[in-house]
Amino acid sequence: MKLYILEFFKFDYEDSYTHILGVYDNLDDALEFIDSKDYRYCKKIFDDDLEQYEKEDRTITIIERDLNKDYSISSVEE
């Protein structure tokens, strides 16, 4: 099963922060939420991100995770 995590990011040299906006089990639902907030597609910064959207100085990133895979630190170290 795949999950789609929406991460909100605001970059400011003095005050940058991130928040998890939501977790969806359907990519279409995640995209519908982003579209309803008038964010526009932009080039993603990190390869691990599925897609990235922006509006003014705010960014929403879609992170895809497969629950059947191991994302623990120990699995990465091997």
CA torsion sign for 44, 50, 56, 57 is negative
Contact (Cβ atoms closer than 8 angstroms) between residue 28 and residue 21: no
The pLDDT of 47-68, averaged and rounded, is 91
pLDDT tens-digit readout, 25-37: 999 999 999 999 9
pLDDT band at 5 (very low <50, low <70, confident <90, very high): very high
Rounded to two decimals, the pTM is 0.78
- Cα 10 to chain center, whole Å? 13
DSSP letters, 12-35, are -SS--EEEEEEEES-HHHHHHHHH
